């Protein structure tokens, strides 16, 4: 796989771009792992984010009705269009995935560029209803991946944890060594599998809820009640007493998703008046 990759990169005069976090998969075993996790079916429409040189694109296309491969790099787009010009079930889209709508699809697969991992996660989970995807298989930097399935009270537990687990169920899959990519990144990666929750939690205004979460997690190690009082500007003693019943003596990073939702739902009128995301 490495020889083939290097030949293609040379032919199209492509040098991996560090600012786009370009690390191309060169390990057949890892390719098999991704396909296994994706579990593609003949009628699936699969969105691939960051198609690179099409190594994954090619394998997925053999197994599904259609692959929509989105790639931002114009030189790679030229390579992909030439390589797959005879493949009627592969659509190459030259675009920044963060600037377009997630198209209707059954599944999403991506070796996610490390530098935009948070933005991509936020985009795909918030656009799940409109796009309809039912599974996402993402290869992420290991340290970041752990944040998606972290438990309250752990060091990895963060704002992106709340966002991801609000909408989806996340399962860790295989850990990937740096040598599986060219050029090799400095860190390990991990495949994670995300599936939408059948019934996501309900809050009145999701944008304001996540805005509240973002504010609280700027001081994640401090006592939750104090941060809620100071950062959200809540001074009413009755309201604070009720919030104290919810959060107890816990620190922000120890609060579960359910507790954060209870906090928002109880004081949403105050939050809605004071903050606009």
Looking at residue 275, what is its pLDDT? 63
Tokens of 243: 């919030």
Last residue of a domain, one of 165, 196, 227: 196
Do 232 and 191 share a structural domain? no
pTM of the entire predicted model: 0.94
Do 88 and 165 have their domain in common?
Answer: yes
Give the CATH number of the domain where residue 212 resides.
Answer: 1.10.8.100
Strands 45-49, 107-111: pairing kind: parallel
Residue among 122, 134, 208, 118 nearest 169 (CA): 134
Let me know whether 180 and 215 are in one domain. Answer: no
Q: State residue 268's pLDDT score.
A: 83
What is the rounded CA–CA span in Å between residue 192 and residue 164? 12
pLDDT for the residue 276: 59
Are residues 89 and 135 part of one domain?
yes
The per-residue pLDDT for 38 is 98
Pick out the chain residues at pLDDT < 70. Answer: 274-277
Instruction: Look at residue 235 in the predicted model and tell me its pLDDT.
Output: 84
Burial 53-87 (b: 16+ CB within 10 A, else e): bbbbbbbbbeebebbbbbbbbeebbebbeebbeeb
Q: What is the CATH number of the domain that holds 51?
A: 3.40.50.150
Determine which helix (DSSP H) or strand (DSSP E) holds 94, and give its type and residue range. Answer: strand 90-94
* Domain assignment present for 144: yes
To which H or E segment does residue 256 belong?
A: none
- What's the CA gap between 264 and 256, in Å, rounded? 13
Do 136 and 268 have their domain in common?
no
Domain match, 154 and 213 both = no
Residues 30 and 66 reside in one and the same domain: yes
DSSP 152-209: TTSTT--HHHHHHHHHEEEEEEEEE-GGGEESPPSS-EEEEEEEE-SS----S-HHHH
Give the burial string for 123-136 (b: 16+ CB within 10 Å, else e).
bbbbebeebebebb
Assess whether 115 and 233 both reside in one domain.
no
- Show which of 196, 221, 247 is a domain's final residue: 196
Question: Do 94 and 76 belong together in one domain?
Answer: yes
- pLDDT for the residue numbered 90: 98
Kindly state whether residues 135 and 264 are assigned to the same domain: no
Confirm whether 120 is domain-assigned. Answer: yes
How many domains does the chain fold into? Answer: 2
Instruction: Return the bridge partners of 67, or none.
Output: 46, 90
Q: Which of 177, 196, 215 corresponds to the end of one domain? A: 196
164: Cβ–Cβ under 8 A, 6 or more apart, which residues? Answer: 121, 125, 148, 170, 194
The residue range of the domain holding 227 is: 206-274
Residue 201 counted as domain residue: no
Question: What is the pLDDT, as a whole number, of residue 259?
Answer: 97
């Amino acid at each position: 796989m490495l020889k083939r990759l290097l030949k293609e990169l040379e032919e199209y005069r492509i040098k991996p771009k560090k600012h786009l976090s370009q690390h191309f998969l060169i390990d057949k075993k890892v390719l098999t792992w991704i396909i296994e996790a994706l579990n593609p079916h003949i009628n699936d429409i699969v969105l691939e984010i960051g198609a690179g040189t099409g190594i994954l694109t090619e394998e997925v296309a053999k197994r599904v009705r259609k692959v929509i491969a989105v790639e931002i790099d114009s030189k790679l787009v030229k390579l992909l269009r030439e390589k797959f010009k005879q493949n009627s079930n592969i659509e190459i889209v030259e675009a920044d995935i963060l600037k377009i709508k997630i198209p209707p699809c059954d599944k999403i697969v991506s070796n996610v560029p490390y530098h935009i991992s948070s933005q991509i996660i936020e985009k795909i989970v918030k656009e799940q209803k409109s796009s309809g995807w039912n599974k996402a298989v993402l290869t992420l930097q290991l340290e970041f991946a752990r944040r998606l399935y972290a438990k309250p009270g752990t060091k990895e537990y963060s704002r992106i944890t709340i966002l991801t687990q609000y909408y989806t169920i996340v399962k860790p899959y295989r850990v990937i060594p740096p040598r599986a990519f060219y050029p090799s990144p400095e860190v390990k990666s991990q495949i994670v599998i995300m599936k939408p929750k059948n019934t996501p939690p309900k809050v009145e205004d999701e944008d304001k809820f996540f805005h509240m979460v973002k504010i609280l997690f700027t001081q994640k190690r401090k006592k939750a009640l104090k941060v809620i009082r100071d950062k959200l500007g809540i001074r009413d003693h009755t309201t604070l007493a009720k919030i104290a019943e919810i959060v107890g003596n816990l620190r922000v990073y120890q609060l579960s998703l359910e507790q954060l939702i209870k906090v928002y739902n109880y004081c949403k009128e105050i939050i809605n008046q004071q903050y606009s995301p």
